[in-house]
Amino acid sequence: MEIISSYNLIIEFSVIIILSFLFNGLSKKTNIPAVLMLIALGVILQYVLHYFTSETIDFFPILEVLGIVGLIMIVLEAALELELKREKLVPILKSLAIALIGLGLSTWAAASILYYYIPDMTMQSAWLYATPLSILSSAIIIPSVAGLRSKKREFHIYESTFSDILGIMLFYFLTGKLNPAEDSGLVGFTGNFMLTIMISLIASYAIILVFQKIKSNVKLFLMIAVLLLLYALGKKMHLSSLIIILIFGLVIANMKLFFKGKLSRWLDYEKAHQIYHELHTITGETAFVVRTLFFVIFGLTIAITSLFNLQVALISSMLILSIYGIRIVLLLIFEGKDITPQAFIAPRGLITVLLFYAIPEEAKIAGFEPGILLFVIIGTSLIMTFAMIYEKRRSSKAVDLANSKGVGAVKWKVPSVLEEEDK
């Protein structure tokens, strides 16, 4: 039976998108991340493919491109949600601190575990393997926390976005260490970071000012094409390209803040705001499609049998314990006692997979089982699922208490719930 043909591909693509939409609806009702359902769909399709054909298909080039585009769309989608206000400064800085410290400690803990338990693993390679395993997945977190109260939802959007960017910067800083000729050290890395911010701001202002003057209705994908081009060129120049996407999203989402004084004369706010609104819609739609295809194809490529390897289970369990142990301590320090469900929302996903496949050949270790990757992704996603279900039940009980005893009683019983709802 011919699987890879024009009409079959159209049918397969359409069915996958429809199923993904249904998975999203099911995810909202059950709190099971749609990503897990997509990976499971990919695994099922893997066996279906093996049944109908013995031909081996190399999905990696598709997976890599989808991962990069998906990452850009997800970070842009998150940035478009972020409001930069004076009262938001403390939550933003707190989220940045938690993301930064959490990434550093988790990477160190994971590197130590991998170095100790995997044969022939060097410490340098251990850090490279540990970095993807230490990055939060905004691809999973952002859609999953939509039902949380605004304060907690914003925390997760900020934290996961910062984790993505900082994790990618750390990964490429470590890969630079593999080649001493290209390694510019910490000073060079800091200079590169500052240059990226400067280029990002200039590019963001230029794009908004130019696109507000374009009268054609066909301009949003042109804007996305420009952003993709800037990202790719930034990578070629060894810049932290994801910052370009983040800063552009922040500038267009907070135009009144960035276009002040004389700059405000150049901005046609109504036209620019319309572009922002339309970009927000198309970014969300594109991120949905790319995320769907990425995780289904990832499911097509993984060896599910590796999950039943005892060593894989042992190492993965230790990695998961280190992730949540560090996270709980950090949140207790920064957030106090109200850390549910935040402490358990730490899934790994798209960037973990993408960076794992980007590990240079000279740093790869034959003894590392890819099943560890899958085990950690599934394990952290399931823990998040149980935490979200618990939070949903807790919120329902608070509402029931409000209906039965009145607002006064609830304010005494569950003040934090009501105060955050008011905000």
User: What is the pTM assigned to this prediction?
Assistant: 0.80
Contact by Cβ (8 Å): 175, 128: yes
Q: Which residues of 367-385 are buried (b: 16+ CB within 10 A; e: fewer)?
A: ebbebbbbbbbbbbbebbb
Mean pLDDT, consecutive 10-residue segments, the chain of 423 residues?
A: 73 92 86 84 87 74 82 82 80 92 96 93 93 90 82 88 86 77 64 86 92 84 91 83 87 89 86 88 87 87 80 94 96 88 90 85 87 90 89 73 59 44 44
Can you give the pLDDT at residue 379? Answer: 92
Instruction: Return the biggest CA–CA distance within the chain.
Output: 70
Q: Among all chains, which residue has been given the structure tokens 């790719």?
A: 232
CATH topology of domain 6-358+367-400: Na+/H+ antiporter like fold (1.20.1530)
Can you give the pLDDT at residue 104? Answer: 95
Residues 6+ apart with CB under 8 A from 48: none
Grouping H, G, I as helix, E, B as strand and the rest as coil, residue 3 is: coil
Phi, psi of 30 (to 5 degrees): -105, -15
Distance (Å, whole) CA 40 – CA 173: 34
Contact by Cβ (8 Å): 134, 107: yes
Can you give the pLDDT at residue 413? Answer: 46
